[in-house]
Amino acid sequence: IFGLFDVHGFFNVQLVALKVCEPTGELLRTLDRRGKRIIDFVDDQPTKKLSGINRASKKAIFEAVTGLGEELLLLLGSILMNIVDDGSTNYGYYPRLNFNCVNMLRFAKLESFLSVLGELGSVSFDDLHSGSARAKLLDLLESQFSFKPNTRFPSSELYVCLDRGPVLGEIAIMLRVLATPSRLMTENSIKEYFSSVKRSVLCVTQLEQPVEPRIVFNRKVFEQEFKLGWKPDQGDHSPYILKR
């Protein structure tokens, strides 16, 4: 389910998953409000044509899908952690399955993300300028912070997860509009683009009231959110704690 962009394809996968995993159906229904919303949608409207869903509903469904995918992977990691002895890890993050799931997500420094958004907010919609802005956004997506199992999350820096809603949805909007040829650009598309830039800034700067799921992380929030423990080596005095 992780990172699927095809909403119709997701429903096919989800229906199969619920049928095969019938004994865990009740557990899946209690994962969180994102999971419940998407499962209820499938249960209540199994034959509804997705083409009839409006844009806002598609966006909400997309965010629910990505959130549910993370919950399922982390839940699986927690289950296996209680079954398999993870004592083979000499030092670093554990359980390794949880870490490997998190390592599939893309992260960028908050400072870098805001810098790119600042440039995106001053785009003039000609083909040359739009192409340059789109390239910078793609560079940010491709040059994300790379995690290593034996390197702890930075203690004094903030990072943004680029693969969680609503940031993921906003990035998709910006990329789509920037890819539109200038001759096909409409006033509504331009308004949608700048609104998306503004919403992206608000998402990552309102730290007093963080959005859900969490998209801005320091070390403490990162390890708690993804249920990761850190086992220090002999020269590391970081606390040996697993946040469940």
Query: Which pLDDT tens digit goes with each residue over 14-71?
Result: 333 333 333 444 444 444 455 555 555 555 554 444 445 555 565 666 666 666 666 6
Give pLDDT, residue 44: 55
Give pLDDT, residue 27: 44
Give pLDDT, residue 222: 95
DSSP SS3 for 229: strand
The vertex-123 CA angle with 121 and 128, nearest 5°, equals 150
Positive/negative CA dihedral, 149, 68, 172, 160 = negative
Residues of the chain with pLDDT under 70: 1-89, 144-146, 210, 234-244
Helices (H), the chain: 7-20, 25-29, 33-44, 55-83, 96-102, 110-120, 127-142, 167-178, 187-205, 219-225
Whether the pTM exceeds 0.85: the reply is: no
Q: Phi first, then psi: give them for residue 111, nearest 5 degrees.
A: -60, -45
Q: Identify the structural domains of the chain with CATH numbers, from first to last.
A: 1-84 (no CATH), 89-244 (1.20.120.70)
Structure tokens at 7: 């909403």
Radius of gyration of the chain (CA): 20
Contacts of 169 (CB under 8 A, 6+ apart): 59, 62, 63
Q: What is the mean pLDDT of the chain?
A: 74
Burial class (CB in 10 A: 0-12, 13-18, 19+), 37: middle
Give pLDDT, residue 13: 37
**Residue 173 and residue 177: Cα distance in Å, rounded?**
6
The pLDDT > 70 percentage for the chain reads 57
